[in-house]
């Protein structure tokens, strides 16, 4: 579609000095369009797209929908414990990531560390970030067993990569002047960082850490579904035993909890920026 639109506008642009349509140009565009269509067709089959199934299984969908529309909160205390566990996973996953992310961030900043340090540290951070927390969760479940601790470790490892990257970008954007002022007094490198760098980046760091905490609460929910503890695990159990009204109740609790958290966290972040 895009190709056609471009063609049309190109023709219209002739008076503005755009080149005339050549035969080669038309051939190239047609070939491009053909490739795009081929990719879409291949992906359709590969993903086993089957809208018919939605109609065919309309009965199932109706049952599911009906059950989901009547959330059952009888066991709300159980779900509340689950969401609290999810928060706990996110709190420790984020805190550990901040603790380990700060030294990594400083070592990855070009204005703090020499290139032979920043390069390997950045590649290491890329590695942590490249692998999704869900994958880490599966790995840690294999290592330490099902449960919230595996979730904490998964969030910690992935978030360390993200936090280190965000923190390091803040460090690289600081004003070098105050750091030189500190250096001029005969301070050590560590003191330059403590007095010259950290005060400049602290508001941003706090804001980034809170933001990551918010998104880690969402991630912890999903990690629970694969066995990393918390409300996600409870949700998975209710789904697998076809307790849809209970599953709906859990979803409502998750949405309310996450929205509340977002609102609170936004208020706090606004104070620091």
Partner 1 sequence: MSYALSIDGITKAYGTVRAVSEINLRIAPGERVALIGASGSGKSTLIRLSSGLLTADSGEVKVFGDAIQSGGKLTRDARRIRRRIGLIFQKFNLVNRLSVTTNVLVGALGRVSPLRGTFGFYCRADRDAAYSALEQVGIEKHAHKRAEALSGGQQQRAAIARTLVQRARIVIADEPIASLDPKSARRVMDLLSELNRTQGITLLVSLHQVDYARAYFDRIVAMRGGEIVFDGPAAKLTPDFLTELYGASAEELILPGQFEAAQAPHTPMRMENPAELARALN
Residues found near partner 1 in the complex (CB under 8 A)? 177-178, 180-188, 190-191, 194-196, 199-200, 202-203
Rounded to whole angstroms, the Cα distance separating 138 from 153 reads 11
Give the shortest CB-120-to-partner 1 separation in angstroms.
Answer: 25
C-beta closer to partner 1: residue 30 or 191 = 191
- Helix ranges (DSSP H) in 69-175: 76-107, 115-130, 133-144, 148-172
Q: What does each C-alpha distance from 240 to 51, 79, 233, 237, 247 come to in angstroms?
A: 24, 16, 11, 5, 10
Residues 137 and 115 sit within 8 Å (Cβ to Cβ): no
C-beta closer to partner 1: residue 71 or 178 = 178
Give the shortest CB-196-to-partner 1 separation in angstroms.
Answer: 6
C-beta closer to partner 1: residue 51 or 184 = 184
Residue 128: name the closest of 139, 143, 116 by CA: 139
Which strand (E) or helix (H) includes residue 221? helix 198-225
Give the shortest CB-148-to-partner 1 separation in angstroms.
Answer: 34
Give the shortest CB-109-to-partner 1 separation in angstroms.
Answer: 17
Give the shortest CB-166-to-partner 1 separation in angstroms.
Answer: 19
- The token duo for 106 is 């400083």
C-beta closer to partner 1: residue 160 or 200 = 200
C-beta closer to partner 1: residue 183 or 269 = 183
């Amino acid at each position: 579609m895009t190709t056609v639109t471009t063609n049309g506008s190109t023709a219209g642009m002739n008076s503005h000095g755009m080149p005339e349509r050549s035969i080669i140009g038309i051939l190239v565009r047609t070939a491009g369009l053909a490739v795009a269509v081929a990719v879409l067709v291949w992906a359709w089959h590969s993903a086993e797209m089957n809208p018919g199934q939605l109609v065919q299984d309309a009965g199932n969908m109706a049952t599911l929908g009906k059950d989901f529309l009547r959330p059952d909160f009888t066991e709300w205390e159980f779900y509340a414990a689950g969401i609290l566990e999810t928060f706990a996973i996110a709190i420790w996953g984020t805190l550990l990531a901040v603790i380990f992310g700060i030294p990594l961030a400083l070592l990855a900043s070009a204005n703090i560390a020499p290139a032979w340090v920043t390069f390997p540290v950045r590649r290491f951070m890329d590695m942590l970030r490249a692998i999704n927390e869900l994958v880490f969760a599966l790995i840690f479940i294999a290592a330490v067993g099902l449960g919230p601790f595996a979730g904490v470790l998964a969030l910690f490892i992935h978030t360390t990569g993200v936090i280190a990257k965000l923190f390091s970008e803040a460090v690289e954007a600081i004003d070098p002047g105050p750091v030189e002022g500190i250096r001029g007094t005969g301070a050590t490198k560590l003191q330059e960082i403590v007095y010259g760098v950290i005060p400049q980046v602290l508001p941003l760091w706090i804001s980034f850490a809170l933001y990551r905490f918010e998104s880690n609460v969402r991630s912890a929910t999903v990690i629970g579904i694969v066995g990393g503890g918390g409300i996600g695990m409870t949700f998975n159990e209710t789904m697998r035993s076809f307790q849809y009204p209970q599953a709906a109740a859990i979803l409502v609790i998750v949405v309310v909890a996450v929205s509340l958290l977002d609102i609170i966290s936004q208020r706090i972040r606004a104070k620091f920026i």
